[in-house]
Structure 1
Amino acid sequence: MELNERKLNILKAIVKDYIETAEAVGSRTISKKHDLGVSAATIRNEMADLEELGYLIQPHTSAGRVPSEKGYKLYVDLLMSQNELRDDEKLLIEQCLEKNVNHIKDLIHETSKLLSQLTNYTTVAVTKSLVNQSVIKHIQLVGMGDNKILLIVVTDKGDIKNANLLTNINLDQSKLNLISDNLTNKLSGKSITELDNRLIAFIKYEISEYSAFIDELVNALNFNISEEDLSVSLNGATNIFSYPEFNDIIKAKSFLNMLEKKETITSMVRSKGIQKDNINIIIGSDNDCELAKDCSIVTATYNIDKDLVGRISFIGPTRMDYARIYSIVNYMSLLFNKK
């Protein structure tokens, strides 16, 4: 049994109708709404074949059919076409990008917020957050006992980096506070890349009693700052309640609990799915996260000069309007590449 053009057209019609209505689709509905040039009886036979092939599911004996995960995957991979956005939607996206064009991180996160409102899906923005691209605002040292010290660096962007230090010098918290204040006075307003040998030598001269400790601190700073961190923002978490698939309170709570964990979110958006241009589409059970098996995730990746600057992901039921999301992120990519 082969997937001929007629079967593909019927599958495409069923997927689109089910996305729109969340109700099982029958042959009569397809016959009336879509000009396929065949009778309802023929459509019914083709639907039975599509079910046998695993692309459709019949929830109840007398009901119509709904797409299976396999059906959604075929639709996304082969049948989905890009939709035209409305002029007002284009304008909103353009204004959001223009407003934040000088701050790439803000641009990604603010656009994610707007896209959640436009689509009524949950969106997640993930950006790189490298402190050496930021300016130091405050430094704090906290004694943790057994000569262990926690170094905390706060930047002007609101990012917080920390590192653990081990020292042979016995320093109580009052002394650590004095060192913290001194370092903040000397380094506030400077980026990590400005920590050259002359500046470090000056700081060690100013607090010569703890010069050996300053070497350990700077080494920890440079090591820690070189590590990539991620800034994650979540928008429209409760949008999922708009979809009948999540009327079950237990399922809805599980979804919200999943979104509370940064590690889970970043793992989800990095999972591999169907790749189309700069867009990755993960459907249902392909999600690595067990709690996301009833969801689909569409992730757009944005780069500047081939360097990854961020991702925006849409999370919704498997009955997600993939074509609309695809159109939105493609339009955003078009604008983004002009910046």
Structure 2
Amino acid sequence: MLDERKLKVLYAIINSYISSAEPIGSRTISKNYDLGVSSATIRNEMSDLEDLGFLSKPHSSAGRVPSDKAYRFYVNQLLKQNKQSIGTEKDIEIKEILANKSWEMEELIRNSAEMLSALTSYTAIVASPKLKTSKVKTIQLLSLDDLRVLMIIVCDTGIVKKAIYKPKNPISSDQLSTISKFLNIKLQGLSMDELLIQFENNVFEEMYKYKGVIDELIPIINDSIEDLTSIDLYSYGLTKILNFPEYRDVEKVKEFISFVEDKDLILDILLNNSSSEDIDILIGSENKYAPIKDISMITATYKIGNKTISKVGLVGPTRMDYLNLIDTLKIFSANITDMLNMLMGNQ
């Protein structure tokens, strides 16, 4: 659809606008890019690109700005590039950041938004795992003292849920061990939904000696399952949007912050706009929500084995630095995924 010269002009305008946030004129392109043609020729190409919907001309400006259609074209070309990121300076930097601390799985996922925001200077978000399909690996009951018992549920995805149980009567460590073994026989390998079915079917009646204790434990396990199957959303770097000149308007800043803090809205976008690709990008008007038509979101997945357990993303104006951000997010998500699999013993 676009010949080589039009492509060069379009890419020059996109890169210039990403850097400057100012409408781009033909003289700027002629001065900063050696395209081998005159300013007049560049002007003609810009006019053609505008007619094709790749550029728009802001009111009161002689320059042009890229449209969402232009960004989509540009991004699709970037996504076709299979860059080898292992061993790059960025890859080494991310590995060093992750190696500086001994991580637990939940902590790693939760804090990844902060790390990603620091790396990119953009607002970052991360959705914690959706674990309805996760299965019970083990359930342990441990005595803390005469009045308290610690219950630990470990899932096959590495998520650990802990809860304190206060029995009506003291329970010895041997009794807790017996109950733990029984619970594991009945519950090990079951998904969260299957656990609830087991509770409804009263599969614990045969353990009549400890029926009272198990009856007390079931609501606690139920509450733990509800926590495990919910999705938490973490964001970091909200105020970094103020670094972009598009957000000098207080009302626009308020809209952006309201968007990022709207858990249901963000999760709807994250969960319903995913593809089979490693990286998903939603650009401006592609978003169905009117207040954020000038916002773009780049997201990637964290996986354990072949199972996606979490999504992480960067949010900013449509003139995001897609080239660097796509590369950084690919490397970042790959390193987090490697660490998650290492924590799970899959490597």
Give the TM-score taking structure 2 as reference length.
0.71
Q: Could you list the runs of 5+ residues in structure 1 that have no partner in the other structure?
A: 139-152, 162-176
**Whole-Å separation in 2 of the counterparts to 1:304 and 1:178:** 34
Larger displacement relative to structure 2 (252-261 or 125-134): 125-134
Structure 1 residues 218 and 64, CA gap change in structure 2 (3 angstroms): closer
Structure 1 SS opposite 2:288? coil
Structure 1 residues 303 and 219, CA gap change in structure 2 (3 angstroms): closer
Q: Could you list the runs of 5+ residues in structure 2 that have no partner in the other structure?
A: 143-150, 188-202, 340-347
- Aligned twin of 2:196: none
Structure 1 residues 226 and 114, CA gap change in structure 2 (3 angstroms): closer
Larger displacement relative to structure 2 (224-233 or 193-202): 193-202
**Whole-Å separation in 1 of the counterparts to 2:209 and 2:311:** 44
RMSD (Å), alpha carbons? 4.2
Give the TM-score taking structure 1 as reference length.
0.73
- Aligned twin of 1:240: 241
Structure 1 residues 266 and 337, CA gap change in structure 2 (3 angstroms): closer
Q: CA deviation at 1:126?
A: 1.4
Q: 1:111-260 maps to which residues of 2 (within 5 A)?
A: 111-128=112-129, 130=131, 132=136, 194-196=183-185, 205=209, 208=212, 214=216, 217=219, 220=222, 224=225, 228-260=229-261
> Could you report, residue by residue, the CA deviation over 1:104-129 in whole angstroms, capped at 9, with x for unpaired residues?
43333333312201211110011216
- Corresponding letter in the other structure for 1:217: P
- Corresponding letter in the other structure for 2:328: I
**Whole-Å separation in 2 of the counterparts to 1:192 and 1:48:** 74
In the alignment, structure 1 residue 292 sits paired with structure 2 residue 287: no
Structure 1 residues 125 and 180, CA gap change in structure 2 (3 angstroms): farther
Of all paired residues, the percent bearing the same amino acid is 33
> Could you report, residue by residue, the CA deviation over 1:194-220 in whole angstroms, capped at 9, with x for unpaired residues?
555599679864574x87x55963884
- Aligned twin of 1:58: 57
Q: CA deviation at 1:248?
A: 1.3
**Whole-Å separation in 1 of the counterparts to 2:166 and 2:104:** 35
Q: CA deviation at 1:306?
A: 0.6
May I ask how many residue pairs the two structures share in their alignment? 303
Structure 2 SS opposite 1:241? helix
- Aligned twin of 1:174: none
C-alpha contact (below 8 Å) 1:93/1:111 kept by paired residues = no
> Could you report, residue by residue, the CA deviation over 1:205-254 in whole angstroms, capped at 9, with x for unpaired residues?
4574x87x5596388469x4597322321110111111111111111112
Structure 1 residues 79 and 118, CA gap change in structure 2 (3 angstroms): closer
**Whole-Å separation in 2 of the counterparts to 1:154 and 1:71:** 52
> Could you report, residue by residue, the CA deviation over 1:282-328 in whole angstroms, capped at 9, with x for unpaired residues?
00122233332220000011222111122110000011111111110
Larger displacement relative to structure 2 (26-35 or 281-290): 281-290
